[in-house]
């Protein structure tokens, strides 16, 4: 038996139940992992509320790090005793022990501890594919990145600085502005005090930016489009303020033939070689010291509901982990 978070219905944080679950032996293609740390991400909220549908009852969570206890038939890339980390579906990371598909596991370098491994995989791989897959940023470019003081945002600020990219980050408070600036943002816009579009025009001398990375959704979508150069790319990769409402494609034409994409990590690590290459790039950035994973909140696994409350209230900065 192991402790885990389970939910039988969608809704608020109160639907998260801390219960005993039975964990058996891994089947073909599976591994049993004893988890040492678990990552908390906004996508967990989307599943909990039902914005992203999933079969119920269900576990929750898509990111963790721990040690392989056993593997099923056909699994050769990891073995019992290996330190591993992962990010991706299916849900179920909120657990002391879990049976999972082994194909999403990657070996965690000895120089990276379990807490860092759990906090970095989903967010770090997201930045990796955003900057190297969805749109390849180049030294000297100026880009716009919303929620720059969040877990993904702080990694993006550091990664951009390492690449010589001028990142304009948006935040909602003076404290968060200081965090983003310290992490490497070239410019920071506090959207509660400043007009995002006007500030972007000012910073870029009226040229705007070639790409906007927007994980906020409804509250920033139109302003993000207004910050783009003709033929610029709008990367909408999250909905922390709510889903983007339907809009006319003519909105893209009227702003200068804009492009838009709604990427997800799964499409960028769809094959084993892709996953290993992106993970190796992420591990390299962390081990070099160019990207540091800033874990600012730790909650016991039993307090997952409290962690969700803090996350949704935007009281968190950097990365948040759950500890079994």
Closest CA to 32 of 58, 77, 66: 66
**What pLDDT does residue 321 have?**
97
Residues 51 and 73 in one domain: yes
Q: Between residues 207 and 90, which one has the greater pLDDT?
A: 207
Report whether pLDDT(241) > 90.
no
Peptide bond into 90 cis (omega under 30): yes
Domain boundary among 230, 262, 294: 262
Q: How confident is the model at residue 230 (pLDDT cuts 50, 70, 90)?
A: very high
Average pLDDT of the segment spanning 155-163: 97
Residues 54 and 145 in one domain: no
Q: How confident is the model at residue 244 (pLDDT cuts 50, 70, 90)?
A: confident
Average pLDDT of the segment spanning 128-139: 98
Q: How far apart are the first and last CA of the chain?
A: 13
How confident is the model over 246-280, as pLDDT tens digits?
Answer: 999 999 999 999 999 999 999 999 999 999 999 99
Is the residue at 127 inside a domain?
A: no
Contact 266, 89 (CB under 8 A): yes
Report whether pLDDT(110) > 90.
yes
**What pLDDT does residue 88 have?**
87
Q: How far apart are CA 63 and CA 88, in angstroms?
A: 7
Contact 74, 29 (CB under 8 A): yes
The CATH number of the domain where 157 resides is what? Answer: 3.40.50.720
**What pLDDT does residue 155 have?**
95
Domain boundary among 236, 262, 288: 262
Residues 208 and 288 in one domain: no
Residues 21 and 104 in one domain: yes
Residues 306 and 227 in one domain: no
Count of structural domains, the chain: 2
Residues 292 and 223 in one domain: no
- Strand order of the β-sheet with 142-145 is 187-190, 166-171, 142-145, 209-214, 228-236, 259-261
**What pLDDT does residue 75 have?**
97
Residues 88 and 161 in one domain: no
Residues 89 and 114 in one domain: yes
pTM of the full structure: 0.91
Give the rounded distance of the alpha carbon of 173 from its chain centre.
Answer: 21
How confident is the model over 167-203, as pLDDT tens digits?
Answer: 999 999 999 999 999 999 999 999 999 999 999 999 9
The CATH number of the domain where 97 resides is what? Answer: 3.90.180.10
Domain boundary among 232, 262, 292: 262
Q: How far apart are CA 171 and CA 175, in angstroms?
A: 9
Report whether pLDDT(28) > 90.
yes
Residues 280 and 254 in one domain: no
Give me the chain's average pLDDT, please.
96
Range of the domain at 167: 139-262
- CA angle, 160 then 165 then 169, to 5°: 65
Report whether pLDDT(239) > 90.
no
**What are the φ and ψ backbone dihedral angles of 27, each rounded to 5 degrees?**
-90, -170
Q: How confident is the model at residue 240 (pLDDT cuts 50, 70, 90)?
A: confident
Q: How far apart are CA 158 and CA 291, in angstroms?
A: 6
Beta bridge partners of 187: 168
147 CB contacts (<8 Å, ≥6 apart)? 153, 170, 171, 215, 216, 238, 240
Residues 187 and 212 in one domain: yes
**What pLDDT does residue 314 have?**
83
Residues 10 and 109 in one domain: yes
**What pLDDT does residue 89 have?**
81
Is the residue at 128 inside a domain?
A: no
Is the residue at 193 inside a domain?
A: yes
**What are the φ and ψ backbone dihedral angles of 28, each rounded to 5 degrees?**
-55, 130
Residues 191 and 98 in one domain: no
Report whether pLDDT(317) > 90.
no
């Amino acid at each position: 038996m192991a402790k885990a978070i389970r939910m039988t219905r969608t809704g608020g944080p109160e639907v998260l139940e801390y219960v005993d679950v039975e964990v058996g032996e891994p089947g073909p293609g599976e591994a049993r992992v004893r988890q040492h740390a678990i990552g908390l991400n906004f996508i967990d909220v989307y599943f909990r509320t039902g914005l992203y549908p999933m079969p119920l009852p269900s576990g929750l969570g898509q990111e963790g790090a721990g040690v392989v206890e056993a593997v099923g038939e056909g699994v050769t890339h990891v073995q019992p005793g290996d330190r591993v980390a992962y990010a991706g579906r299916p849900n179920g990371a909120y657990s002391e022990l879990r049976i999972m598909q082994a194909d999403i596991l990657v070996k965690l370098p000895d120089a990276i501890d379990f807490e860092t491994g759990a906090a970095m995989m989903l967010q770090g791989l997201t930045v990796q594919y955003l900057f190297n897959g969805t749109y390849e940023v180049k030294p000297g470019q100026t880009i716009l990145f919303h929620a720059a003081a969040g877990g993904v945002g702080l990694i993006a600020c550091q990664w951009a600085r390492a690449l010589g990219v001028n990142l304009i980050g948006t935040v909602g408070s003076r404290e968060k502005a200081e965090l983003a600036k310290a992490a490497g943002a070239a410019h920071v816009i506090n959207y509660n005090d400043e007009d995002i579009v006007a500030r972007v025009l000012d910073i870029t001398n009226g040229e705007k930016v070639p790409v906007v990375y927007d994980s906020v959704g409804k509250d920033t979508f139109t302003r993000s489009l207004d910050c783009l150069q003709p033929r610029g790319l709008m990367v909408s990769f999250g909905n922390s303020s709510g889903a983007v409402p339907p809009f006319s494609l003519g909105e893209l034409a009227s702003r200068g033939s804009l492009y838009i994409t709604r990427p997800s990590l799964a499409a960028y690590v769809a094959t084993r070689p892709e996953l290993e290459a992106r993970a190796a790039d992420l591990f390299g950035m962390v081990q070099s010291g160019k990207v540091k994973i800033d874990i600012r909140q730790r909650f016991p696994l039993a307090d997952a509901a409290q962690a969700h409350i803090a996350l949704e209230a935007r009281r968190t900065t950097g990365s948040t982990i759950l500890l079994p």
